[in-house]
Amino acid sequence: MSKEQTIASVEPLHVGQFLFVKIVTNHGVVGWGEGGVWGHIEAAATSVKRFAEYLVGKPAFCIEHHWNVMHRFSYFQGLAINAAISAIDIALWDIKGKVLGVPIYELLGGACRTKARVYGHIYEKTIEGVLAECKRKMDLGYTAFGHINPFLDEGNDEVYFKTHVKKMQDAAENVHKMRAVVGEKVDLLIELHRRLTPAEAVTFSNMIKVDTPMFVEDPIRPESADAIARVADRIAVPIATGERFFTIYEFQALLSRQALEYVRVDVAVCGGITGAKKVAAMAEAHNCQLVPHNPLSPVGLAACLQVAAAIPNFAIQEYATGFEAGVFSSTTRHLGSDIVDYVPEVVDGFVGIPSRPGLGVQVLDNAQEIRPPFVQPIQMRPHKDGFVVDQ
């Protein structure tokens, strides 16, 4: 495979709730990538097709050059466009690793580690369900739980209202119950999923300090760096955020404001492996840790793990055990395990870094038959006053 690899085709594939990109070179080498905007797959797929007009016929190895062209050629960016760029970038890294016969992390400076600590998801509508799922996942060897929501994953069909005091006290009590069940064996990565106001985030986070959560994730909506910094300055628990950021500059805005300690870069949204490495370097310069976001398939997981292997400031990796068809329910297997040829298995809270050439994971030929395209319905939970609830 020493001959020059040029890009012969770029194809978006809507498989279940996932958007994959398949790139094939003139010598038949196939690269796989994944884009992370599960709510707008059609828009991202259209962007992939648009970028294909530029990419076909170009050298497959010029990843940084292509990354910059796709970002810079017009004035317009956004989550759907940058998810397309991310998926393409991951697929190009997959090709380069396969052609050179090495895992991607070898192309990023080599391995800092051979295993990555992971956290499993907890999706439940009741605190009793949360505690039962904690016990089940402890038996499976997990040492950390994320998407563990003290406000609970109630359905969009339930009208919501609680007084401020009850909203705060119920959720804080739920965290106390979680800690009582898991003890010191498990870290709690408390998911708030942007549902609080800054005032609520300050009150609640300080109420759970006694339970020593590893962090609170997305305590408020992510649009205002100043608001997140205001919360960070007033609470005693570290903040993790960034999963909705689609440029490196959004991370720079938070890091410069000392607004977070754990950087939740989404490799499938923020520019792929190329973008994630840039974010990791910025975070390292600020002594912040990376917690890559991946509520996606094992393709997205593999991309995250290749980055995790090659950076010194990796903390823990999201391992998606739930969210089938966009529904908040817990499972034991990684989301999308049935459409790929390999999924790293959890052993004592860790997974091995895939070491096959490229990503180390391939999408099955019949993936679309196994999981026909799924479109997320547009809906939100209603508030009692007639507005909507972020959750």
Residues of the chain with pLDDT under 50: none
Distance CA 344, CA 244 (A): 25
Per-residue pLDDT tens over the stretch 204-237: 999 999 999 999 999 999 999 999 999 999 999 9
Which structure tokens are listed for 100?
A: 């050179």
**Measured distance between the N- and C-terminal CA atoms of the chain, rounded to whole angstroms:** 49
Distance CA 110, CA 199 (A): 44
Query: At 210, is the secondary structure helix, strand, or coil?
Result: helix
Q: Which CATH number fits domain 106-358: 1.10.10.10, 3.90.1150.10, 3.20.20.120, 3.40.630.30?
A: 3.20.20.120
Q: What is the dihedral of CA 34, 35, 36, 39, to 10 degrees?
A: -120
CATH of domain 6-102: 3.30.390.10
Q: Which of 339, 335, 344 is nearest to 295 (CA)?
A: 335
Please list, in sequence order, all residues whose beta carbon lies within 8 angstroms of the beta carbon of residue 68, skipping any fewer than 6 positions away: none
For Cα atoms 218, 91, 43, give the angle at the middle one, nearest 5 degrees.
Answer: 60
Which structure tokens are listed for 236?
A: 């005693």
Q: Are 238 and 217 in contact (CB under 8 A)?
A: no
Q: What per-residue confidence (pLDDT) applies to 219?
A: 97
Residue 178's CB is within 10 A of a number of other CB atoms, namely: 23
Amino acid type, 262: Y
CA atoms within 13 A on the CB side of 377: 6
Q: Which of 127, 128, 151, 245 is nearest to 200 (CA)?
A: 151
Residues of the chain with CATH 3.30.390.10: 6-102
Sign of the Cα pseudo-torsion (159, 245, 191, 349, in order):
positive
| Helix H or strand E segment including 289 | strand 289-290
Please list, in sequence order, all residues whose beta carbon lies within 8 angstroms of the beta carbon of residue 108, skipping any fewer than 6 positions away: 273, 277, 306, 307, 309, 310
Residues of the chain with CATH 3.20.20.120: 106-358
Q: Is 242 left (phi over 0), alpha (psi -120 to 50) or beta?
A: left
Per-residue pLDDT tens over the stretch 343-377: 999 999 999 999 999 999 999 999 999 999 999 89
Sign of the Cα pseudo-torsion (262, 266, 271, 276, in order):
positive
Which residue has tokens 């038996």? 139
Q: What per-residue confidence (pLDDT) applies to 11?
A: 98
Enter the pTM of the model: 0.97
